[in-house]
Homo-oligomer: A and B are copies of this chain.
Amino acid sequence: MEVITTGCIVAPKGFKAGAVYCGIKTREDSLDLGIVLSECPSTGAALFTTNQIYAAPVKYSRTTAQKGCIRSFVVNSGNANACTGEQGYKDAVEMARIASGCLKISQEEILIASTGIIGRPLAMDKIAAGIKGAAASLGNTPAHGNNMARAIMTTDTRQKDVAVRLKINGKDVIIGGITKGAGMIAPNMATMLCFITTDATIPSPLLNECLRKSADISFNRITIDGHTSTNDTVAIIANGASGVTISPNSPETKLFQQGLDYVTCYLAKAIVRDGEGATKFIQIDVVGARSKADAVKIARSIADSPLVKTAINGEDPNWGRIVSAAGYAGVALDESKTNLYINEILIFSKGMPTQNNLDVISASMKAGDINLRLELGLGDSADTVWTCDLSHEYVTINAEYHT
């Protein structure tokens, strides 16, 4: 598996991208409307936010995704088209209609996504011009791919993308992806979007299954502040341009899944590393649980504790906050079997702190990457969650923003 780091979304064969500034964002030096297009008919799959309050483009795109054919992603940043009522839904449909005309493909093959401020109507004249401009600028150079990655950013401080080249049956298959994240919610212009392309041929039910599996070990294992957005979308297009077909229950499926897992995990971690105000990347491994569900519950409880997050911000090996956050996750624990390692140093063993040197552990926490490993001693299941710390900068970003 070879990793590609530029132009990722157009790295697979048969994909073009185009992005423009159309005036939705306030900064003129940024891009705010992008299109990805497969040059040939393709299958697709997508996952959406579980929030009960979801945006108009999510409502529209759920229908597109259900049909299993996606040929284009049309995405604007700067306005989430959420909490915009009936007009918002009409605007999402209109975006697809305009793109359909420009791209000469069926409206039903277009997935729409929006991210940015919520509760404000889309400036449809700007959006229409943007779609036309982006469609006119489509191309498959790395610059086209990089522009697309930048066009979906909001409070993100950097472009997040990756692609992998796999060898399947002696042929190249490429999977490319872009994502954006930062905080988690819209008025602060932050939601989670991820778009993936591949030149394999994959029937949409299998593609859907692969995407769910990958999302489950990546995007469903990260948390910045526990706040699920109204617009979260993860979508994939498979266009077959590589000449390689992935069939259910084949060895090829396994190779493809590995590649997709790599792309989604890389992108999910990139979101955490660029979390609002983040200074630390924290991997929480819970092992020895009775079930994977228990392990995830506990890892999430630790990851979402503001007390744990502030302690790590302060580079303090505060085992008590970590262990007690595990204790209120709603999973039966046995304190006398519980061990905690911080950066691989045992700090809490069988219900009590160890005598290991706290200064050494503190010093290890000056690194940007922090590992917490909690051993429960109750079973054979394990799971991992990634999160970031809670800093003054997070409070500044989120308290000083004004609606």
Contacts and interface: CB of A to CB of B under 8 A. Distances in A.
Contacts of A313: 395, 399
Nearest to A87: B352
Interface stretch (A125-133, A167-175, A192-200, A316-324): A316-324
A321 B227 contact: yes
A283 interface: no
B227 A314 contact: no
Interface in A3-28: none
A1 interface: no
Nearest to A117: B320
Contacts of A400: 314
A395 B401 contact: no
Given A226-B305, A333-B52, A402 B324 contact: no
Interface string A299-320: 0000011110011011011111
A205 interface: no
A379 interface: no
A184 B227 contact: no
B187 A318 contact: yes
Contacts of A158: none
A83 B228 contact: no
Residue in A119, A307, A324 whose Cβ sees the most chain B Cβ within 10 Å: A324
Given A306-B390, A403-B318, A227 B185 contact: no
A310 B53 contact: no
A327 interface: yes
Interface string A78-98: 000011110000000000000
B119 A324 contact: no
A392 B310 CA distance: 11
A327 B184 CA distance: 13
Residue in A83, A306, A335 whose Cβ sees the most chain B Cβ within 10 Å: A306
Interface string A161-189: 00000000000000000000001111110
A151 B196 CA distance: 60
Contacts of A353: 83, 119
- Dominant secondary structure of chain A at its interface with chain B: loop
Contacts of A50: 328
Contact of A230 (B228, B307, B324): B324
A316 B399 contact: yes
A124 interface: no
A83 B333 CA distance: 13
Residue in A311, A331, A350 whose Cβ sees the most chain B Cβ within 10 Å: A311
A307 B119 contact: no
Contacts of A320: 82-83, 118-119, 185-187, 230, 403
Nearest to A305: B227
Given A83-B353, A84-B352, A52 B395 contact: no
A306 B308 CA distance: 14
Interface string A331-350: 11101101000000000101
Contact of A351 (B83, B227, B318, B350): B83
Contacts of A66: none
Given A53-B326, A119-B348, A227-B324, 20 more contacts: A51-B328, A52-B326, A52-B332, A82-B320, A83-B320, A83-B335, A119-B353, A227-B305, A227-B306, A227-B307, A227-B321, A227-B325, A228-B324, A230-B324, A306-B306, A310-B394, A313-B395, A314-B402, A392-B399, A395-B395
Lowest 4 CB-CB distances: which A-B pairs, in order?
A53-B327, A314-B399, A187-B320, A310-B398
